[in-house]
Amino acid sequence: MKKLIFVFAILCLCFGGTVGAKEVCKYGEGDLFFDNSEQIMIETLTGQPANGLSCISYRKKFKGCFDRLQYKGGKLEGIARFSGGGDETEVPYKDNKIEGVARVFSQSRLIWEMPYENSKAEGTAKFYYESGKLKGEYQYRNDQREGIARNYYESGELFSEILYEGDKIEGVAKFFYNHGKLKEEIPYKDGKTEGYHNFYTKDGKPLCKILYGDDKTLSGTCADGRALTNAELSNFEKGFKISCGSDSIENYNKTRRNKRPALPCDR
């Protein structure tokens, strides 16, 4: 992640002087500059390392993003807060590196949290519905997805299980109906779909299978033996529903390859 300290723009806004009651904004426009050789923030007037709270507004360039950064000896230290687009982000820093759990809130509701060590994602990231219920959990190791990722319906039932190796999907990803039965199986190799993508009806019977090679659809067959036409495969690839017997299937495959969320206001 790019360091959140390179650009300083306009206006010191303190919201009555604080994020918390005891925080006082010390730095604003032009008060600091970044020393590339030392990798620290320097006071423009004194030439000394920054110590204290900086309040920065990026309303023109970053669409209302507002940052509150705490410095100690010129380095980011403590909780940095970023606002923009209705979201509020808290990022814990220690000695200029992200250390601890970063959290994003939307209208004061926690929507995701990500643990960091030495500025790299490490541990279990969790995502939440607006209701506060768990939406998904992903395992990270050395800033990459590693291990089983699970997503859930808001009711709590399992929606999917996906294995990641080296930040790429590997093996058979499984998707479920909200009553627990298997809905889809999608085979992956090195992050690409390879093999038969199997669909099942709500009562567990085979519905359709589509053959992939190097992440591209090659052929498809409905459970009644009818082969899918090239036009149907093309529509499926584009995300349109296609019919198989009295049921239909839809390609959510590519949209399900969830990317790691970036911290809001990343530069």
Alpha carbon of 203 to those of 152, 197, 225, 250: distances in Å?
A: 20, 18, 19, 18
User: What is the structure's pLDDT at 253?
Assistant: 61
Residue 250 pLDDT level (bands cut at 50, 70, 90):
confident
Kindly tell me if the per-residue pLDDT of 5 is higher than 50: no
Q: Which tens digit of pLDDT belongs to each residue from 160-211?
A: 999 999 999 999 999 999 999 999 999 999 999 999 999 999 999 999 999 9
Q: Which tens digit of pLDDT belongs to each residue from 80-137?
A: 998 887 889 999 999 999 999 999 999 899 999 999 999 999 999 999 999 999 999 9
User: What is the structure's pLDDT at 262?
Assistant: 57
Kindly tell me if the per-residue pLDDT of 16 is higher than 90: no
The Cα–Cα gap between 128 and 70 comes to: 28
Kindly tell me if the per-residue pLDDT of 22 is higher than 70: no
Mean pLDDT of the chain: 85
DSSP-derived letter for residue 170 is -
Do residues 11 and 21 lie in contact, with contact meaning Cβ atoms separated by under 8 Å?
A: no
The stretch 138-153 carries a mean pLDDT of 96
Helix (H, G, I), strand (E, B) or coil at 103: strand
Token output for 212: 């992939």
